[in-house]
Amino acid sequence: MFFRKYINNKYFYTGLLFLIWWVFFDQESIIVQYDLARVRLGLEDQKEYYKNEIEKDEASINTLQNDTVFLEKYAREKYYMKKDDEDVFVIVRDED
């Protein structure tokens, strides 16, 4: 009885149609906004990850520039460099 005066009103139908259009069909619909918010959160997570990686890389660069012992160790492990009187054996393990 209370809703009957709203159901018979043309503005009610216009507003309902507008609401349905806004939720589902509009370029700025709620569904699109929800998807964009999810993408944004993922990008913020990636941004934090890359900031941490940059900090680790800067620390590694600083260590390599200032510590000759670490630089020699890094060159031996990463690039298989050796001194003139040494032999280097690389062991490759088969992984099943």
Q: What is the secondary structure of 24-53 as a DSSP string?
A: IISTT-HHHHHHHHHHHHHHHHHHHHHHHH
What is the C-alpha to C-alpha distance for residues 59 and 66, in angstroms, rounded to an integer? 11
- Across the chain, mean pLDDT equals 87
Inside any domain, residue 84 = no
Residue 19 clears pLDDT 80, i.e. is over it: yes
Would residue 90 count as lying in a domain? no
% of the chain surpassing 70 pLDDT:
97
- Give how many domains the chain has, as a whole number: 1
Q: Count CB neighbours of 29 within 10 A.
A: 14
Question: Is 8 domain-assigned?
Answer: yes
Query: Does some domain include residue 58?
Result: yes
User: Given this model, what pLDDT does residue 28 score?
Assistant: 81
Q: Report how far residue 26's alpha carbon sits from residue 20's, in angstroms, rounded to the nearest whole number.
A: 9
Domain around 43: 4-79
The answer to whether 23 and 30 have CB atoms below 8 angstroms apart is yes
Please tell me the pTM assigned to this model. Answer: 0.57
